Amino acid sequence: MSVFPDSCSLLGFAGFSGSGKTTLLRHLVALLSQRQLRIGIIKHTHHDVEQDQPGKDSFELRHAGARQCLLAGPQRSILTYENIEATEPDLNESLSRLSLKQLDLVLIEGFRDQAINKIEIHRPQFGKPLLCLTDPHIIAVATDDPNLAAPVPLLDLNNTKVIADTIEQWWQAGRLQEVVSSAV
């Protein structure tokens, strides 16, 4: 559980493109949310993204020069930040934009080189190296090969319920890193 009243835990997911990170996360978010955990997501992308569409007020206001645009609605709100320069996103800056005190656990896809606890998603048939051999922050490997030789525990990639159980146990035991929400 969270050690600090205004904190939440972090868990990253690392793997090469096409390994199934997003598919696994989609299932885990559903399972962990059903267990009443308040889940946040940060997904790293190397591509330019657009969540809005031309003709909508928020799109037009942003493209008129607004650096930040919050579209606030009764069901959901969407916050868009324009970067001054095209640079790789910073995990700490991304975390600072979330309302961490409203979350129990932030699942982070990508940010592979960050010093946070991570589950590696690995499919040997893709011929990619195991990241856990060089990343001391990987605490388990989710794989479809039960005989994979790895220096960390293996999780069955095809059994998302067991992976969700493991994550919930880590969270309850305080094994995941905490990030404290800044006072707002």
pLDDT (0 to 100) of residue 9: 96
pLDDT band per the 50, 70, 90 thresholds, residue 88: confident
Is 184's pLDDT higher than 70? no
pLDDT band per the 50, 70, 90 thresholds, residue 93: confident
Alpha-carbon distance of 52 to 25, in angstroms, equals: 23
Alpha-carbon distance of 79 to 135, in angstroms, equals: 33
% pLDDT > 90, the chain: 57
pLDDT (0 to 100) of residue 71: 75
pLDDT (0 to 100) of residue 3: 47
The single-letter code of the amino acid at 52 is D
142: CB partners within 8 A, 6+ apart: 24, 119, 120, 121, 122, 154, 155, 156, 157, 163
pLDDT (0 to 100) of residue 182: 58
Is 157's pLDDT higher than 70? yes
Is 166's pLDDT higher than 90? yes
User: For 42-48, what is the mean pLDDT?
Assistant: 71
pLDDT (0 to 100) of residue 79: 79
pLDDT (0 to 100) of residue 48: 57
Alpha-carbon distance of 182 to 184, in angstroms, equals: 6
Q: What is the DSSP string of 76-128?
A: -EEEEE--SS-----HHHHHHTS-GGG-SEEEEES-TTSSS-EEEEE-GGG-P
Q: Domain 7-44+89-180 maps to which CATH number in 3.10.150.10, 3.30.950.10, 3.40.50.10320, 3.40.50.300?
A: 3.40.50.300
User: For 73-98, what is the mean pLDDT?
Assistant: 82
pLDDT (0 to 100) of residue 29: 97
% pLDDT > 70, the chain: 87
User: For 133-148, what is the mean pLDDT?
Assistant: 97
- The full set of domain ranges for the chain reads 7-44+89-180, 49-88
Is 23's pLDDT higher than 60? yes
pLDDT (0 to 100) of residue 46: 57
Alpha-carbon distance of 49 to 110, in angstroms, equals: 15
Of 120, 105, 113, the closest CA to residue 178 belongs to 105
User: For 37-56, what is the mean pLDDT?
Assistant: 76
Overall pTM > 0.75: yes
Alpha-carbon distance of 122 to 89, in angstroms, equals: 24
